[in-house]
Amino acid sequence: MKPRTDSSKVSASEVHLISVAGTPNKGKGPGGEKWRIEVGGTRAGEVYINVIDEPPLGCHASLQIYLNIKSQGLGIGRVGYAKACQLSAHETIYAHMRRSNIASRKAAEAAGFVDATPPGFTQLILRWTRQMTIPLA
């Protein structure tokens, strides 16, 4: 990623998700999907979806996003979450994270995720649901 001259956030149009082959535990397998995140033609991280079967949700699509250290704090995560969900074939996607991971929570919430953590569950679970759009006549 090219060094930025300021600490401004990137625009959504600067963030591109490139579909890539999944690898074990990172988007490979039934229902899995994986993208490389690029900004200005430079790799900024990756985002992938695995279909997992774990409590308390059972079988569900689970999104993970990882940004290179130089790419953190620029708003790339919020765009990555949003674009991956829109590109995904899944109607509902969950993101699991530590409650202390405030940056990831804010990025996911900016992309439309809402808290879906069951009472008493220690890990934060956020849910994104594809919104039905009705075309105007």
Residue 109 pLDDT more than 50? yes
CB-CB contact of 99 with 124 (8 Å) = yes
Work out the widest C-alpha separation in the chain, in whole angstroms: 47
Q: Over 70: is that where the pLDDT of 4 sits?
A: no
Does the pLDDT of residue 137 top 80, yes or no? no
| pTM for this model (two decimals) | 0.88
Asked if the peptide bond before residue 24 counts as cis, ω within 30 degrees of 0, the response is: no
pLDDT digits (tens, 9 = 90+) for 16-37: 999 999 999 999 999 999 999 9
Q: Encode pLDDT of 112-126 as tens digits.
A: 999 999 999 999 999
Which CATH number applies to 12-128? 3.40.630.30
